[in-house]
Structure 1
Amino acid sequence: MHKYEAEKLLKILFNVWSKQSSTKWCKENPAKGQCGVTALVVQDLFGGEIFKTPTVGGWHYYNRINGERYDFTESQFSEPIKYLDIPSSREEAFSDTNMSQYSYLRNSVLKAWKNGNFN
C-alpha cells in the first residue's frame, strides 16, 4: 500500500464510518468500535495480515501489509497504543462485528474508492 492510498482510504473511512458499521460510533469519535470491521475491509482491499494488541477496552485489530503496520482506527484511543503485533485472523476480527456491519462498510468503502469520493 502506498502512502497516498493509505491517506485516501483513511479519508474514505472517516466519511463512511457510522452506527451502521459499529454501534459504538459517535460523531466525536468516529473510529470508536470500528477496528475489527475496518481490519477486515482493509484486508479485502489490500491483502496482508490482521494483527491484534490488547487495550483497556479489549482486543484492538489492525493490519500489516508488506511488512508495514496500518492502524486506521488508532484515533479512537486517547493514549498511544503499545502494539504487541500478535497474529490474528478474520474469524477473530469478525468477533468484533457482524455481517451487516461488515457488508455496509465494505460496500461503502468500495463505492467511494471506485467513485473517487475521498474528500
Structure 2
Amino acid sequence: MTDTLEKLLSILRISWSTETGSQWLPENPASGQCNVTSLVVQDLLGGDILKTEVPGAWHFYNRVGRERFDLTASQFAAPIQYMDVESSREDALLRTGSRPFPT
C-alpha cells in the first residue's frame, strides 16, 4: 500500500492547481486540495472519507481498512488533531473549491 500511495501522491502533486482547489499555492501545493484528493483516493482505493475540523474549515482525508491516509496533511504547519468524523462523497463534493482552507 505504501508504494501505491507514494506513486499516487506524486501524481496528485503534479495535478493539483487552482482548478482542483481554489486555495492552491505554488509554495504550498496541498493547500485546499483535501476534498478532491479524498475523492480520488476513495475512487482508486475504496474505503471511507473522513473529516476533521481545522481552524476555519473542515479537512477531508481517507480511511482504507483500518489505516488513516491524509495525502494533503503537508498543507498545515502544525500537526492535525484527527477527529475521524464520518463524511461522504457528497459532503466532500459540496466543499470542493467553495471554501477557503487554512495554510
Asked if Structure 1 and Structure 2 have the same fold, meaning a TM-score greater than 0.5 normalized by the shorter chain, the answer is yes
Identity %: 54
Which segments of 5 or more consecutive residues in structure 2 lack a partner in the other structure?
98-103
Question: Looking at CA atoms only, which structure, 1 or 2, has the larger radius of gyration?
Answer: 1
What does residue 46 of structure 1 align with?
A: 45
Alignment of 1:31-110 (within 5 A): 31-97=30-96
> In structure 2, what is the Cα distance between the partners aligned to 1:15 and 1:9?
10
SS in 2 for 1:51: strand
What does residue 109 of structure 1 align with?
A: none
Q: What is the TM-score when the length of structure 2 is the normalising length? A: 0.90
> In structure 1, what is the Cα distance between the partners aligned to 2:48 and 2:7?
20
Q: Deviations over 1:13-62 (max 9, x none)?
A: 11110111111111001000000111011101110000000001310000
Q: CA deviation at 1:95?
A: 1.6
Determine if contact 1:50/1:64 at 8 Å carries over to the other structure: yes
Number of residue pairs matched by the alignment: 97
User: Runs in 1 of length 4+ with deviation above 2 angstroms?
Assistant: none
Q: Deviations over 1:91-111 (max 9, x none)?
A: 11112116xxxxxxxxxxxxx
> In structure 1, what is the Cα distance between the partners aligned to 2:95 and 2:8?
21
Select the structure that is richer in helix. Answer: 1
Q: What is the TM-score when the length of structure 1 is the normalising length? A: 0.79
Which segments of 5 or more consecutive residues in structure 1 lack a partner in the other structure?
99-119
